[in-house]
Amino acid sequence: MNVIIGNSAAAVGAIETIRQYDQKEDIVVISKEPYRVYSRPLISYFLAGKVKSPQMYYRDTDFYKSNNVRTMLGKTVTGIDSKKQKVILDDGEKISYSKLLVATGGKPFVPPIEGSWKEGVFTFTTWDDAKALAKAARTAEEAVVIGGGMIGLKATESLQMLDVGVTVVELADRVLSLSLDEKASRLMQKHLKNAGVKIITENTVAEVMGRNKVTGVRLKDGTQISCDMVVIAIGVVPNTDLLGDASVKCNRGIVVNDEMQTNISNIYAGGDVAEATELLSGEKRVIPIWPVAYNQGSVAGSNMIGESKVYQGGLSMNSIEILGLPTISVGMTNPPEGDFKVYTKYESDKMAYKKVVLKDDVIMGSVFVNSIDRAGIITDLIKNKVNVRRFKSKLLNDDFGYVFFPQKERLEKLGA
Amino acid sequence: MKKIYVKEEVCIGCRLCEINCIVEHSKSKDIIKAFKKEIPRPVARVVVEEEGPLSFAVQCRHCDEPPCLEACMGGALSKDPRTGAVVHDKDKCVGCWMCIMVCPYGAIMRAKDGKKIASKCDLCPDREKPACVDGCPNEALVFEER
């Protein structure tokens, strides 16, 4: 019996891969959310009304049936008994497993903020969060979003489209500081300000004000902002709550080898909860993004049924479009001091910016603002650690493509 | 599966493949109407790369393990279990551009038809041979099994 805890990208990756090889193995999916698999990254689109409920679902209605998967939705796992090989549910039921995949994802990181229990304070991770926010946004006039990262800015975009005024409060000195470089962040910030979003950096919310309901926030420096709602969108941390004393090794996330196996041989982990090999550094890292989650789930699923598959390493990457300004960033976007070569190109009239970071003629990272077409060619060069010495001067060309590759490599790639 | 391949030694960069792709994926399938009446004009799902005398067309390679499929957070991209083609569901696409970020061939375009959605080669399911291959004057594009 293969049991999967969690029901998002990693779970689907595992299911679809297992079924490529095997139709008979039992698969059970347990998830605390009551929904069949939906796309969490779409919650901001749902909030804005751009996506309706039917489009939220990641796979067709018959997904579980056609893949012969038994679901236990709306059930919370409270613990794992790794000796007896059982998963324990909150209602006391125990489910036996022979192989277990922990794909419990991330949970919102909520720092201690005075008054954060008050009505009108939200997190923004699940569909239910989006539903609650959508309801509150109908009557709200001003919102404070804590966190200028991807989740915070996606929430900001949607609230702005619903005619709610937004102030973003970010601890770092710029928005999207983890994914973008300085220049790209400044461009995004300018774009947001032009759209009417207020941005406060190097500051944080010290207190949510109001008796029982939010009336405003007080920042660390004493500034007060009136608002009807507060969205805590700082980021997610691996959701390792249910592990308890299962003696599964955890660092920031559940530590896995390149087969997505934990220190307990029949327990696997994948997705935002897992800490796996990062491609460029070779170190173990949590990379909480959709493609990595799907891929890790796929590797785990394969190995769970005895089809050996080795994880190639995850690469941090993001495609973030906010209020019409698209950005793509991959790998190392802010190189530390050292032997890195950085190429950039900025065209102010188009608000277009491109950057690649090289080390020993191998691309380590890329940033694209507004001009994002065919960015994937560069991503592929990063993933495959290709030496680009012979065409590095062309990397930022608007018409960059295979035409600049050495013939042999081009024919190999395009002839496959 | 049968895929579209290019013979760069005979491609002259005429870009008829782009034009035929646009017409095939237009509402009218009529060249004049597609270019003059359909606003915004459909985008070509094939790109001709050119540098000096070298030119060739690039379109979706319909990968065995497509990175775009893994990256597509809306579930809009899938592999047709019958044909092996990587197909795109316009209604599910939200235009997050994750596919553009990961496509090794730069073969996914941003459609400009009002709704912001991705656009890619579908191997022309209504035709025996894809329009780009059919219309290539030098047979620089071929549709074959390799």
| Residue of B43, B79, B101, B145 to mutate for A, most A C-beta atoms under 10 A | B101
* Residue where the block lists tokens 């420096």: A221
Q: What fold is seen in the domain A327-414?
A: Enolase-like; domain 1 (3.30.390)
pLDDT of residue A245: 66
Mutate to test the interface with B, among A7, A290, A412 (most CBs of B within 10 A): A290
Q: What is the DSSP string of A113-180?
A: -BTTTSBTEEE-SSHHHHHHHHHHHTT-SEEEEE--SHHHHHHHHHHHHTT-EEEEE-SSSSTTTTTS
* Record: contact A42-B94, CB cut-off 8 A: yes
Rounded distance between C-alpha atoms, residue A323 and residue A188, angstroms: 10
Q: Residues for chain A: how many in total?
A: 416
A 137-176 residues with CB below 8 A of B?
Answer: none
- Position B115 scores a pLDDT of 63
In angstroms, the separation between the Cα of residue A317 and the nearest Cα of chain B is: 8
On chain B, the residues whose CB falls within 8 A of the CB of A413 are 104-105
> The pTM is what?
0.95
Average pLDDT across chain A, whole number = 96
Instruction: State whether B106 and A377 contact (CB < 8 Å).
Output: yes
**Per-residue pLDDT band at B146 (split at 50, 70, 90):** confident
Q: Which pLDDT belongs to residue B42?
A: 86
The mean pLDDT of A163-178, rounded to a whole number, is: 97
What distance separates the 2 farthest-apart alpha carbons in chain A? Answer: 70
At B121 the pLDDT is: 96
Kindly report the nearest CA distance between residue B91 and chain A, in angstroms.
8
Sole residue written with tokens 């937004």: A166
pLDDT in tens, A194-227: 999 999 999 999 999 999 999 999 999 999 999 9
- On whether any CB of chain A is under 8 Å from the CB of B98, the answer is yes
In this prediction, residue A17 has a pLDDT band, given cuts at 50, 70 and 90, of very high
Mean pLDDT of chain B: 93
pLDDT at A377: 98
The reply to whether domains A2-107+237-304 and A121-232 share a CATH topology is: yes
CB neighbours of B20 closer than 8 A, spacing ≥ 6? B131, B132, B134, B135
d(CA A61, CA B75): 12
Interface contact B91, partner A, CB < 8 A = yes
- The pLDDT score that the predictor gives to residue A415 is 85
How far CA A375 is from CA of A22, A175, A179, A354, A379, in Å, comes to 36, 22, 15, 10, 7
With beta carbons under 8 A apart, name residues in chain A contacting B75. 39, 57-59
Under CATH, which number does the domain A2-107+237-304 receive?
Answer: 3.50.50.60
Residue A59 near chain B (CB below 8 Å): yes
The tens digit of pLDDT for each residue in A53-62 reads 999 999 999 9
Sign of CA dihedral B8, B9, B10, B12: positive
Per-residue pLDDT, A244: 73
CB atoms within 10 A of CB A335: 17
A340 beta partners: A359
Q: What is the chain A residue with the closest CA to B109?
A: A373
With residue A346 as reference, give the H or E element that holds it.
Answer: strand A340-347
In three-state form (DSSP H/G/I as H, E/B as E, the rest C), the secondary structure along B19-57 is HHHHHHCCCCCCHHHHHHCCCCCCCCCCEEEEECCEEEE
Query: For the purposes of burial, counting CB atoms within 10 Å of the CB of A411, is it exposed (0-12), middle (13-18) or buried (19 or more)?
Result: middle
R_g of chain B, CA atoms, integer Å? 15
One-letter amino acid for residue B60 of the chain: C
Residues of chain B contacting A402 with CB distance shorter than 8 Å: 49, 56, 58, 105
**Closest Cα to residue A139, out of A163, A169, A167?**
A163
| A230-269 confidence digits (pLDDT tens) | 999 999 999 998 887 668 999 999 999 999 999 999 999 9
Where does chain B have alpha helices with state H? Answer: 16-24, 31-36, 67-71, 98-102, 131-134
Residue of B nearest to A52 (CA): B92
Instruction: Sort out which chain A residues have CB atoms less than 8 A from B58's CB and list them.
Output: 401-402, 414
Is pLDDT at B21 greater than 80 in this prediction? yes
**Residues paired with A367 in a beta bridge:** A329, A355
Which percentage of chain A shows pLDDT scores above 90? 97
User: For the residues B15-37, what does the mean pLDDT come to?
Assistant: 95
Three-state secondary structure call for residue A294? helix
Helices in A259-383 by DSSP H: which ranges? 290-304, 375-383
Note whether B112 contacts A: Cβ–Cβ < 8 A.
no
Residue A284 makes CB contacts below 8 A (sequence gap 6+) with A251, A255, A275, A276, A277, A278
Q: Is the peptide bond preceding residue A336 cis, with omega within 30 degrees of 0?
A: no
Q: Is the CB of A45 inside 8 Å of chain B's CB atoms?
A: yes
Q: Which of B51, B73, B101 sits opposite A376 (nearest CB)?
A: B101
With residue A29 as reference, give the H or E element that holds it. strand A27-31
Write out chain A residues lying below 8 Å of B104, CB-based.
376-377, 379-380, 413
ipTM of the complex: 0.96
Q: What is the pLDDT averaged over residues A1-16? A: 97
How far away is chain A from the Cα of B47, in angstroms, using its nearest Cα?
10
> pLDDT tens, A328-361?
999 999 999 889 999 999 999 999 999 999 999 9
Chain A: closest CA distance from residue B36 (Å): 25
Q: Does B56 touch chain A (CB under 8 A)?
A: yes
Separation between Cα atoms, residue A199 and residue A193, nearest integer Å = 7
Task: Let me know if domain A121-232 sits in CATH 3.50.50.60.
Answer: yes
Interface test with A, best of B4, B72, B73 (most A CBs within 10 A): B73
How many angstroms separate the CA of residue B58 from the nearest CA in chain A? Answer: 8
Note whether B105 contacts A: Cβ–Cβ < 8 A.
yes
Q: What is the pLDDT of residue A356?
A: 98
Is the per-residue pLDDT at B117 higher than 90?
no
User: Exposure of B126 by Cβ count < 10 A (0-12 exposed, 13-18 middle, 19+ buried)?
Assistant: exposed
pLDDT digits (tens, 9 = 90+) for A274-301: 999 999 999 999 999 999 999 999 999 9
- Strand pairing category for A99-102 and A267-269: parallel
Best of A299, A354, A413, A414 to disrupt the B interface (most B CBs within 10 Å) is A414
Q: Give the angle subtended at the CA of A200 by the CAs of A195 and A204, to the nearest 5°.
A: 140
3-state SS class at A74: coil
- Cβ contact, residue pair B73, A39, below 8 Å: yes
Domains of chain B in sequence order? 1-59+121-146 (3.30.70.20), 64-120 (3.30.70.20)
Give per-residue burial for A55-87: e unless 16+ CB within 10 Å, then b. bbbbbeeebbeebebebbeebebebbebeebbb
pLDDT at A416 over 80: no
Token pair belonging to A336: 């530390």
- Cα–Cα distance measured from residue A148 to residue B140, given in angstroms and rounded to the nearest whole number: 49
Instruction: Please give the radius of gyration of chain A, using alpha carbons only, rounded to the nearest integer.
Output: 23
Distances (CA, A) of A164 to A133, A144, A161, A233, A291: 11, 10, 7, 17, 31
Alpha-carbon distances of A48 from A31, A155, A160, A319, A326, rounded to whole Å = 26, 9, 9, 18, 17
Q: Which residues does chain A have within 8 Å of residue B55's beta carbon, measured at their own beta carbons? A: 403
Of B51, B71, B99, nearest to A403 by CB-CB distance is B51
Residue B113 has pLDDT above 90, yes or no: no
A contacts of B67 (beta carbons < 8 Å): 291, 376, 380
Asked if the model's pLDDT at residue A151 lies above 70, the reply is yes
pLDDT digits (tens, 9 = 90+) for B51-87: 999 999 999 999 999 999 999 999 999 999 888 999 9
- Mean pLDDT on A384-393: 96
A39 and B74 in contact by Cβ < 8 A?
yes
- Report domain extents, chain A: 2-107+237-304, 121-232, 327-414
What's the rounded mean pLDDT across residues A109-113?
94
